[in-house]
Amino acid sequence: MMLRTMADSARFIDGYLLYLLARASSVASAEFHEEVRRRGFNVSNWRVLAALKGSGGQTVGELAAVCLVNQPAMSKTVERLVRQGLVERRADVGDRRRVNVNLTGEGERTVDELISAAKAHQERLIEAIGPRETETLVAALHRVIERSGEG
């Protein structure tokens, strides 16, 4: 099967699924990141706080994997968030050798505010895509992610 657009377009990439995924991800994220910065917040910080929300704590390695950055970069971001009082490091209750990064009370309040903005932005995105199409989109994205065994 060829993607429908591949036959219509002169440029190879316009019908190339990996390019469309990268481009859609980039433009949609850039839009919300603009809003994050307007609120005086740092995009790397937002990503870490968002990854922690509801997670019950994550190691630096897990956060690096989730946020798609390398471990040294993630260590620095976590360090900065610790200094800002938004996260704290805590030994895991079940495994003392494991050190989790957790949101502080202040971190929870900050991320909740940003998540409200993220959800409002997402609503607008879903409206543009169409609610039914979005369900198919989300299912398809999950399948791509699970396929790689990284789901």
Where along the sequence are the contacts to a copy of itself (CB under 8 A)? Answer: 1, 3-5, 9-13, 16-32, 50-51, 53-56, 66, 68, 115, 118, 122-123, 125-126, 128-131, 133-145, 147-148, 150
In order of 3, 61, 69, 125, the CA distances from 115 in angstroms are: 35, 23, 21, 15
Identify which of residues 39 and 97 has a Cβ nearer to a copy of itself in the complex.
39
Minimum distance from residue 144 beta carbon to a copy of itself (Å): 4
C-alpha 140/C-alpha 146 separation (Å) is 10
Give me the least distance between CB of 5 and a copy of itself, in Å please.
Answer: 6
Rounded CA separation 44/67 (Å): 9
Q: Taking the complex as a whole, how short is the minimal distance between the CB of residue 83 and a copy of itself, in angstroms?
A: 23
Q: Smaller CB distance to a copy of itself: residue 99 or 138?
A: 138
- Provide the minimum distance between the beta carbon of 42 and a copy of itself in the complex, in angstroms, as a whole number: 17
Of 92 and 133, which CB lies nearer to a copy of itself in the complex structure? Answer: 133
- Residue closer to a copy of itself (CB basis): 82 or 126: 126
Cβ distance 33 to 43 under 8 Å?
yes
- Dump the DSSP string for 48-114: HHHHHTTTS-B-HHHHHHHHTS-HHHHHHHHHHHHHTTSEEEEE-SS-TT-EEEEE-HHHHHHHHHH
Beta carbon nearer to a copy of itself, 82 or 129: 129
Q: What are phi and psi of 127, to 5 degrees?
A: -60, -40
Give the shortest CB-104-to-a copy of itself separation in angstroms: 17
